[in-house]
Each structure stands twice: as C-alpha cells, then as structure tokens.
Structure 1
Amino acid sequence: MTPRSVPKMTTDDEAEAFLAQDLSNLDLTAFKPLTWEAEPKTARVNMRLPAPLMEAVRARAAERGIPYQRLIREAIERTVRR
C-alpha cells in the first residue's frame, strides 16, 4: 500500500472530513508539532491596532476558518521561533 500525503486543509470542516476516513496508510512526515496550541492559555495581551490591520487579520483568519486570536498567536509563535 502506497502512503498517502496529507492534503492542505484550511477549514475545520475539511479537517473533520479528512479525519473521518481510514488514515492507516497516511504519511505522517508532513505533521509538525504545534506547541502553542497544546499549552494552556493563561496570559492575556491587550493592544491597540489600526482598524484596517484588525480587519485584515480577521479576514485572513476567516479565509483559514480559524479564530482571529489563533492567527495572531501563530504569528507571534513564528516570530519567537526564528
């Protein structure tokens, strides 16, 4: 049986549909750990942003099917990892 690669998913619905099938021949080398999502969220951040930037953040998050706070968290995590 040839291993299948993981398709790109941009919404929760796509991920749920993907996980509902037989994944026994899935090539898991594409998966990367997401430490930011596994940690409890106990610290708060409060900041002011220009309205157009906030609108852009919300629009990009909507395109990916995720909450805008998660998108901001991902950006912070990426910056810190560099």
Structure 2
Amino acid sequence: MGGRKVPEFKTDDEAEAFLEQDLSDLDFSQFKPSPFEFKPKAAQLNMRLPSSLLEALKGKAQEKGIPYTRYIRQLLEQDIAGR
C-alpha cells in the first residue's frame, strides 16, 4: 500500500479536523490492533518479585507505552492463549 501516513497531532482540534476529510487513501499498514479491555477486573493478585525483574517489566512496558500492570496482564493473557 502506498497511501498517506497519519500525521502526529498536537491538539484534539487538529485530530478532529483530520478526521473530517476523505480518509480512503490512508496507508492502513501503519495501524496496529489495539486490544480494548471490556471485562471488569474483579480479581486481584499480589506477588513479590525481585526488584530487577520488576524494573525490567517496567522498562518493557514503557517501550510499549503502556502501564506495567497492563503489560503483565497482557503477558499472562498471551501465555494462556498460547501465543
């Protein structure tokens, strides 16, 4: 696909203005699926980890731009799903 890239927006107004145009020529290969968390989190897990492991998890989560608790939950979900 050789369509347009989505620019980075500095304000919500810029994003809204972008969405008001014809977007049929966008390069959709630039998008990644984003899992939405619809199920409520009713159970809680507390665990002790070595500081080095926790810091490594936090670093990986930061690289992905998500909170480290969400990253840990994603790792667990992926393992259970066999991915």
TM-score range for the pair, normalised by the shorter chain length: 0.5 to 0.7
Q: Which has the higher helix share?
A: 1
Calculate the aligned-residue CA RMSD, in Å. 3.5
User: TM-score scaled to structure 2, two decimals?
Assistant: 0.60
Q: Which residue of 2 aligns with 1:10?
A: none
* Percent of matched pairs sharing the same residue: 34
Residues in 1 aligned to 2:65 and 2:45: alpha-carbon distance in whole angstroms: 22
Paired residue for 2:46? 46
Partner of 2:35: 34
Bigger RCO of structures 1 and 2 (CA < 8 A, at least 6 apart): 1
Structure 1 segments of 4 or more deviating over 6 A? none
| Greater C-alpha radius of gyration | 2
Q: Which runs of 5+ in 2 are unaligned?
A: none
CA distance change for structure 1 residues 40 and 58 in 2, over 3 Å: closer, same or farther? same
Whole-Å Cα distance in 1 between the matches of residues 48 and 2 of structure 2? 47
Instruction: Give the number of aligned pairs.
Output: 71
What TM-score do you get using the length of structure 1 for normalisation?
0.61
Structure 1: gaps of 5 or more residues:
8-12
